A and B are shown apart, each in its own frame.
Chain A
Amino acid sequence: MVEQILTVTAEHLTGPLAVLRATGEIDRDSIQLLGDAAHEALEQGAHQLIIDLAAVTFCDSSGLRLFVQLHRQTATRGGSLRLAALQPSLWTVLRATNLDRLLAAYPTVDEAVRAACAQ
């Protein structure tokens, strides 16, 4: 059996708010899993999307591309995408590509949830 490099769970789904918890590595082989979970949440009416990245150890450019897509898709629904609890290596990726200018990132899921509720 092939070891799963990424698992995604939808932690919380009430009304417009959805928290997706990803565990593992986000790359071009695993990205669809996260994309599917996010799009399912969007279809169920969530437009305040939070991705908990605390247990994500690696994210390549396909992950960044999905984040940008989700940022746009939530924005057209009047909501937004929030990234939470990034490990230092993910911060580095976000800063190196200057995407920290576009994507909102929070130190903890709680803070991301509070910001989403305040919107």
Chain B
Amino acid sequence: MVSAILQPCYEVGGDGFDYTLDGAAAHLLILDGVGKGLSAGLACAVALAAVRAARRDGRGLYDQARAADAALLEQFTDARFATAVLGELDLETGRLRYINAGHPAPLLRAGRMVRELSGGRRMPLGLDDPEVELAEEILEPDDRLLFYTDGVTEANAGDGERFGLDRLVDLVERHSCSGLPAPEILRRLTHAVMEHQGGTPDDDATMVLVQWSGTAAAKTVP
């Protein structure tokens, strides 16, 4: 089961996400266009479209990232780039493969532990980085996987105190034990972030939560 939420900031933000299920695999993507306003949003849109087109062509994660590099370099002469995580989850085996293009590391909750998936690193999309090795992780049934943008952890309470990774990990741990469905967990996480920052958010905050579980999927059918 895949669930996603984008809490937009007041100005035009640069976050985006995409996911598809093609029977054998779930394809996951989260993006954060670097910079401000429309410029960031455009970088995000170009990268997203390039990744999607490459995926539909049947190309793998590495090529999808390289397609985004090429598209951003072709479309813009000034430096535009986007941080991103591209993932592919084999729904039969639970094998997750991913690339992290300068983005906050995804979180995996396996058993009662939450940890960062720190592999597969390359530079942000748009910076023509050919050096990356796909990272791999085997998920167990009921494991949860969270992709997020820095608008979540950087959310500022006004007094300079950031929401922070520790708080996010703590909340994911607590809510995952509650047996709540993914959309409800995301809703609660978003509320926690919004409550923390009080006023108007100054960056998009986006999360994609994946639960690899037959039971969870069955619960979505009314």
Interface on A for B, CB 8 Å cutoff? Answer: 28, 61-62, 64-65, 68-69, 72, 96-99, 101-102
Contacts and interface: CB of A to CB of B under 8 A. Distances in A.
A68 B127 CA distance: 9
Count chain B CB atoms within 10 A of each CB in A64, A65, A72, A102 and give the residue with the most: A65
B122 interface: yes
A62 B124 CA distance: 13
Interface residues of B, number: 19
Given A65-B34, A97-B102, 4 more contacts: A61-B34, A68-B79, A69-B79, A101-B129
Interface of B: 32, 34-36, 78-81, 83, 101-102, 104, 121-124, 127, 129, 131
B123 A98 contact: yes
Contacts of A102: 123, 127
A75 to B, nearest CB: 12
Given A65-B35, A68-B127, A98 B79 contact: no
Contact of B124 (A69, A72, A99): A99
A30 to B, nearest CB: 12
Contacts of A97: 83, 102, 123-124
Contact of A72 (B79, B101, B104): B79
Given A28-B35, A62-B36, A99 B78 contact: no
Contacts of B131: 101
Contacts of A65: 34-35, 79-81
A99 B35 contact: no
A21 B124 CA distance: 27
